Structures are given as structure tokens and as C-alpha cells.
Amino acid sequence: MSEALFFPTIETGRLLMNPLTDEDSAELLGIFSDADVMRYWNTPPWKDMQDALDFINESHDSMKARKSIVLGIYSKSTNDLTGKCMLFSYDEQSKRAEIGFGLGRDYWGKGYIGEAGEALIQYGFKSLGLRRIEADIDPDNHASAKALERLGFQQEGLLRQRWEVNGIVSDSALYGRLASDPCPQQQ
């Protein structure tokens, strides 16, 4: 499988998704240093520019190793970085990967996760040949649960006390979508 498949550019009506670059580090830090954005993540908020640069470098290494696709989500109308989306834990033999998103607070409620998400999901199914895409969220993260359900994911299980971040223990709700599942209506 070509390394180029792991460095795509994906375009939707309002969004452009590209691999992140070092030039994105300040905007990325602005998004992921926000405690509200990071509330349900399994890592604490980022503290400094090095966290953003490390994330970009680790993402590129993982993409070169064909283990993940990590893309910045950019508004076509403003060129602003609104967040990131990714397929990770890619397993070529099992034809599965996990999906994840992070969006700046200013962009919540605008339908960007649905738009970027469905485009990335279709890329995973059609270009990478995935059979299954999974998501793992904190069950208290109702906004992410609704977004996943709108994207056609079904809740398949619950892992109790899976994560501990800054002394807070949380469960994981597991969601899945198969390539054979019907494509949801986008709103």
C-alpha cells in the first residue's frame, strides 16, 4: 500500500483537510490547550508550543509508517485551522481503524464534524479498503455520541474505568461503523 495514501488531501463543500505542518503549531496549540476542548480526552490540555510540534512530528512519523492518517481541518472560506481528524490504530490485515476528532470551541455546532467525518470515513472505506471504523469516547461526552450516531456509528459496548487522566477515572463507550452499513443522511 502506497505511503501517499496516508498523506491525502480531502475536500468537502466547506472544508479542506490536509496533513498538519509546523506552520499550524500555534493554531493547534490554541485549540488543544483549551480545557473545554480537552475535557473528555485521555490526555491533559497541551501546555506549550513543543506539545503541538511533538504532535505534528509524531503524526508524520505514524503516517510514514502507514499506521494513521492525521489531517488538519481548515475552513475554505477563511483558511483557519478549525481542528483535526484522524484514522489511527490502522490494522491492514483486519481492515479496521479508529477515528478521532478535535475541534476548536469556536467551531462547535457548525456541522464540521459531520462534514469532515463522513469524508474521512469514505476515504477509509474506499481508499484504504477498511471494513470497520471504531470510536472510543467518554460516555459523558454526549456531543461526541450524537455526532457519531449522526455519522452512522452504533454503540457496541462499554469499558469500565478504562482511563485515568489527572486523577479522574472514566469509562469508554465503544462505537463502530461497518463499510456495509447504510450511509447516513447528512444534515
Average pLDDT, rounded, for the chain = 93
Please report which confidence band the pLDDT of residue 178 belongs to, taking 50, 70 and 90 as the band edges: very high
| Residue 185 confidence (pLDDT) | 65
Instruction: Decide: helix, strand or coil at residue 62.
Output: helix
| Residue 98 confidence (pLDDT) | 97
Beta bridge pairs of residue 11: 16
Residues 6 or more apart in contact with residue 36 via CB below 8 angstroms = 105
Calpha distance 187→117 (Å, rounded)? 13
- Edge to edge, the sheet with strand 168-178 lists 10-11, 15-19, 69-75, 81-91, 96-103, 132-137, 168-178, 154-165
Alpha helix ranges (H) inside 1-48 = 25-32
The residue with greater pLDDT, 186 or 2, is 2
In tens, the pLDDT along 9-64 reads 999 999 999 999 999 999 999 999 998 888 877 788 999 999 999 999 999 999 99
In tens, the pLDDT along 70-116 reads 999 999 999 999 999 999 999 999 999 999 999 999 999 999 999 99
> Which option is the CATH number for 3-178: 3.40.640.10, 3.40.630.30, 2.60.40.3880, 3.75.10.10?
3.40.630.30
pTM recorded for the entire structure: 0.92
Q: Write phi, then psi, for 6 (nearest 5 degrees).
A: -95, 5
Q: Write phi, then psi, for 57 (nearest 5 degrees).
A: -65, -45
Calpha distance 110→83 (Å, rounded)? 13
